[in-house]
Structure 1
Amino acid sequence: MHFLFFISPKMRKSLPPPFPPKELHRSSRSLLMLLFFLYCISHANAQKNSANSMRYIDNGAIKLGIDLNLGGAITYLSEKGKPNMINNWDWGRQIQMSFYSGPVPYEPDGKKPHKGWTFIGWNPIQSGDVVGNRSRVTGFKQTGNSLYVRCIPMHWPLDNVPGTCTYECWIQLEGNAVKVRSRMINYRPDTTQYPARGQELPAVYTNAPYHRLVTYAGTQPYTYDSVSFIKNHNLPQTPSIQWAAWQATENWAACVNEDGYGLGIWKEGVQRFSGGYYGDSSFKGGSHDVSTGYISPGSIDILDHNISYGYNYVLIVGALDAIRNYAYQQMPQALPSFHFRNSRLQWYYENTKDRGWPIRGCLEITLNPNAALLSPVIFWKATDASRLLIDAQWPASVKKARIYLSRFGVSTFEDHLDVDVQPGRRQYVIPLAHIGHYKGAFNGLKIQPDPDGKSMEQNLLKVYTIALLK
């Protein structure tokens, strides 16, 4: 028996920068037997959910259901008269919230995670844990075609360890779209600022017929250029799973069937996506079968001990053209621009930290040697953006900053430009043409405030705005 047939879908959970890595390989027969046993428990518990715990909303076009026995995770979504599209094989599926932080491994009060999931670290999820303990709903409201749910999540790799945080979701139906607002409020006793980790915003699992993963991943977004079909079929006999990762330059992806019908997700401002299919080649199965499609728009984020972290997304049910047209109606009108008034806006750091949550008007970054700020995955063309604005307050010890760019389709920062800076708050508008071969498309920024590494640790850099300009 191929034990990873049962455990592999859960192995998506590390997601460190820059994209999800290869999943864990089998280590020993005894460990795999343990994991197989735990997954059977989780799967059996998932099958026993009472119909009385379901709450539905229906606007005549689509029907959506959440399970109050599973933290209010979305377990049902269909168009009128069609079957459920959402996979519920175990409590790591559904459409649900899931967050990641340190430490790794996470061992609260000395409690050890199950051996197969020590690499996950801090990971509360909306539905429940691997052993079968359910998240607890603490608030619920239904009004017309909207739902609100609040829960205490469970740490996936541990046995009966609630998260020291609260999850909330607001769900609204509009035609064939589902608008969802999600929020996590942390109240961890551990005040350490752990490094940024990859997040799922959210995790979306579909049934086997919706196995074709479609997106737009090219350099001509919002022009009706040809879509991309992401080939990522993980067979049951494969000893490990690796989800595909790509840059979705129109901010959407979809799992569709052979007729081009299925479920799409659009996430404003996010182009970092991962996904694929796990199962046999029959592409048959329902909500409680193991075969599944997967999509997740994602980010790399620092999750402070006291953070309030929110995100929105939209699910679209229908034909591929309808899913893409929805994204086109939300087309961004401006170049990437970041004003750090009360959020990091998915920027994160190398070799340093900031002063923590809440963000009060700017990022306050400690200047350790080789400290750097990194942007989320973005997209721009050299022909559209000729300048970069940096509004920051520089300490007296810093004389120079280095600006790196990463080219579209490449995850490394190779092209760079040094800029002389002076103490105090200043706005620098930097001509990007001074970077050699500034042509084509780009997908990221990295700013090294002191490339010579001479700043002392007590020095702070305050960053107010970073923006690309025409």
Structure 2
Amino acid sequence: MSFLDNGTVKIGADLALGGAITWLSHKERPDNLINSHDLGRQIQMSHYSGPVPFHPEGATLKPEWRTIGWNPIQTGDVFGHPSRVLEHHNDGNQLYVKCVPMHWPLDNVPGECVFEIWTTLDGPTVIMRFRATNARPDQTLYPARNQELPAVYVISALHRFMSYTGERPFTGGDLTHVTNDFHKPWPWTEQTCTESWAALVGDDDWGVGVASGDNCDNCDICIFHGGLFGKAGSREVRDSPTTYLAPVRKEVFDHDIVYDYTTVMTLGTLAEIRARLTARAVRELPTWAFANGRSHWYVIGGVDGGLPRDGLWTIPCEQGMPSLIGPVRCWRAEDAAEIAIEASWNGPAEPARLRWRCLGDRDFSDERSVPFTIPADGMLNRVVVPLAAHPAYQGLITGLRIDPPPGRQPQARLTLRAVVVQRGR
């Protein structure tokens, strides 16, 4: 074990289990909060891609996990083989671990990637920076899948999944107890947490809060998976009952991707958790520029042209009906009158379509959409799409989708440089 302890919070990484976090406690509540019933629990990195199933030749696959696909995780596999730590440093202020993860559903098959974690403490708050570096020989560009950023499993005494889920974030509105039915085949629930944080607390409203984003002062992930598994109330770290929480984002996990994110966890009462984590939440209107990757966008119904190059993300449009979907972000319609799209298009001179989703919408719809025109000259253009007057553009907006023009011709390409949500004139 390797510990950090600042007198308020104590956190421990198990170097025999890939450096996963197996200990978290507060000075006023010194008992361990982390569940370690098996190697799929703990606080740990977990990433997903195709194929589904992922079953390399000669490997043994646990049948009940065949639908999970490619899934390297930090602690170890379902057969009990732990991940191997490659490097570890702890100077009392920062704990660093580098490991080779194991594929959860396979018997003793290491991942073709490495995980790195940098952990520091700030009073009652833990800041963890994560990096996954992929080196897969399989260069297939598989569809985007939800990533756990990270997976957090605690004792079932912290059985209440709490967050703000309403239409007016950052206004002090009532919190929601998010419930799940663990008897279902997928035992967890998915929730849009519109202040970009969630917490697992006990009956006394004390526990751990979690927020994630690109850095510790830019927490913007709004989708969380979580819930109670089994009977509430246990404080035994090896028990089967547990409570789970994970900030999630749908991402394309390229064969050579270097994927970074940061998670902030804080211990305290619900009121303390909310105050600390909303202080780190992003409140500005989103701008997605493609200088350093896809900015958490992905493609459905067509071909992804791969990672952006020179700040430009190119989508081939010769076949299929591709749609570009942005990450879940929350803003009030009255705060953003228009969307600016910097793009080029060299296909037929037909309109593209911008769609938006509101809180509670399961999918994008024709009702919440407008056509817009990108000049078909193959040059980068800035197109401003006004939305304020549209009767269906109201309330809390939670994301965008761009449908390229429907006409197809050889070598047709949509290239994006940026998508900007802006107040307008």
* Counterpart code for 2:362: S
Aligned counterpart in structure 2 of residue 74 of structure 1, from 7, 15, 21: 21
Q: How far apart are the structure 2 equivalents of 1:359 and 1:131?
A: 40
Residue 399 to residue 240, structure 1, CA distance change in 2 (3 Å): closer
Counting only pairs closer than 5 Å after superposition, residues 365-376 of structure 1 correspond to structure 2 as 365-367=315-317, 368-376=319-327
Matches within 5 A, 1:7-22: none
> Which residue in 2 is equivalent to 1:308?
258
Given candidates 370, 379, 398, the residue that maps to 1:417 is: 370
**Structure 1 unpaired stretches of 5+:** 1-53
Greater Cα shift, 365-374 or 310-319 = 365-374
8 Å contact kept, 1:255–1:263: yes
Q: Given that residues 245 and 272 in structure 1 are in contact (C-alpha distance below 8 angstroms), is that contact kept between their aligned partners in structure 2?
A: yes
2:156 — aligned with what? 208
Asked if the contact 2:347/2:408 (under 8 Å) is kept, the reply is no
Q: Secondary structure at the match of 1:226?
A: coil
Rounded to whole Å, the distance in 2 between the matches of 1:398 and 1:446 is 20
> What does residue range 256-335 of structure 1 map to in structure 2 within 5 Å?
256-267=201-212, 268-281=219-232, 283-335=233-285
> Which residue number corresponds to residue 246 of structure 1?
191
2:380 aligns to what SS in structure 1? strand
Distance in 2, matches of 1:286 and 1:169, equals 26
What residue identity is the alignment partner of 1:318? G
Aligned to 1:177: 125
Contact 2:33 2:235 in 1 (8 A): no
Matched with 2:98 is 150
Q: Would you say the 8 A contact 1:102–1:195 is kept in 2? A: yes
Asked whether 1:462 is paired with 2:407, we answer no
Deviations 1:134-174 (CA, angstroms, capped at 9, x unpaired)? 11100110012210000000000001110000000000011
**2:200 partner SS:** strand
Q: 2 CA distance for matches of 1:435 and 1:455?
A: 32
**TM-score, structure 1 as length reference:** 0.85
CA contact (8 A) 2:337 2:387 kept: yes
Hey, what's the Cα distance between the residues in 2 that align with 1:469 and 1:264? 31
Match of 1:444 among 399, 403, 414: 399
Letter in 2 for 1:142: N
1:95 paired with 2:43, answer yes
Task: Indicate the SS of the match to 2:352.
Answer: strand
Q: Does residue 433 of structure 1 match 2:388?
A: yes
RMSD: 1.4
AA paired with 1:262? G
* CA positional deviation for 1:112: 4.3
Measure the CA separation in 2 of the matches of 1:110 and 1:461: 42
Equivalent position SS for 1:223: coil
CA displacement at 1:420 relative to structure 2: 2.0
SS of aligned partner of 2:171: coil
- 2:88 match: 140
AA matched with 1:454: R
Q: Aligned to 2:275, what secondary structure does the other structure show?
A: helix
- Aligned residues of 2:88 and 2:97 also touching (Cα < 8 A): yes
CA deviation string 1:224-262 (max 9, x = no partner): 11111112253xxx3634311111111111110111100
Other structure's SS at 1:116 match: helix
Distance 2:31 2:363 in 1: 43
Q: Is the 8 A contact 1:254 1:262 kept in 2?
A: yes
Task: Report the identity percentage.
Answer: 40
Amino acid at match of 1:180: M
**In the TM superposition, what is the alpha-carbon distance from 1:223 to its structure 2 partner?**
1.2
Q: 2:107 aligns with which of 146, 159, 174?
A: 159
**Are the equivalent residues in 1 in contact too, given 2:251–2:296 (CA < 8 A)?**
yes
TM-score (norm 2): 0.94
Asked if 1:355 is matched to 2:305, the reply is yes
Inter-CA distance 109–132: structure 2 relative to 1 (3 Å threshold): same
Determine if contact 1:307/1:358 at 8 Å carries over to the other structure. Answer: no
Seen in structure 2, the aligned counterparts of structure 1 residues 356 and 454 have a Cα distance that, compared at 3 Å, is closer
Which runs of 5 or more residues in structure 2 are unaligned? 213-218
Provide the rounded CA distance (Å) in 1 between the counterparts of 2:171 and 2:269: 19
| Whole-angstrom distance in 2 between the partners of 1:359 and 1:69 | 39
What amino acid does structure 2 have at the position aligned with 1:247?
T
Whether the 8 Å CA contact 1:398–1:455 is kept in 2: the answer is no
Query: How many Å apart are 1:359 and its aligned residue?
Result: 4.4
Deviation at 1:178, TM superposition (A): 0.4
Residue 105 of structure 1 corresponds to which residue in structure 2? 53
- Report the Cα distance in structure 2 between the residues aligned to 1:317 and 1:163, rounded to whole angstroms: 32
Alpha-carbon shift at residue 439 of structure 1 (Å): 2.0
The answer on whether the counterparts of 2:37 and 2:239 sit within 8 Å (CA) in structure 1 is yes
Change (3 A) 1:398 1:165: farther
Amino acid at match of 2:301: N
Match of 1:57 in 2: 4
Could you say what secondary structure the match of 1:224 adopts?
Answer: coil
Secondary structure of the corresponding residue to residue 171 of structure 1 = strand
